[in-house]
């Protein structure tokens, strides 16, 4: 297999070892008998993984404890929409 480099904006190249770990855990994650995409986001194993991810991210990026960390799905459109929605504080906002 020949892997190229992705220099475009948006998704970036992931290290091969990360991709292999994701591949290995795709059918069964952490002995859950299901993939991480199939387990409940309210279950103890998923919550533990999310908490560990937040701790790792805070340590990596030196995020202070008085800041919230949000893990969101979505692309640039969602993120651009969040700014005026946040500023509107329950009101309405127009944006382009």
pLDDT at 56: 96
- Rounded Cα–Cα distance for residues 19 and 49 (Å): 18
The pLDDT tens digits of the residues spanning 52-68 come to 999 999 999 999 999 98
CA-to-CA distance for 47 and 93, rounded, in angstroms?
Answer: 34
Nearest to 80 by CA among 68, 90, 94: 94
DSSP-based three-state secondary structure for 45:
helix
Give which of 94, 75, 74 is closest to 84, Cα–Cα: 94
Residue ranges for the chain with pLDDT beneath 50:
none
């Amino acid at each position: 297999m020949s892997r190229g480099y992705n220099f475009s904006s948006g998704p970036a190249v992931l290290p091969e070892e990360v991709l292999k770990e994701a591949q290995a855990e795709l059918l069964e994650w952490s002995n859950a008998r299901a993939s991480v995409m199939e387990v409940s986001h309210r279950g103890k194993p998923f919550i533990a993984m999310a908490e560990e991810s937040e701790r790792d991210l805070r340590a990596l990026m030196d995020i202070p404890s008085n800041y919230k960390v949000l893990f969101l799905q979505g692309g640039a459109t969602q993120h651009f929409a969040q700014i005026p929605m946040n500023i509107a504080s329950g009101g309405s906002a127009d944006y382009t």
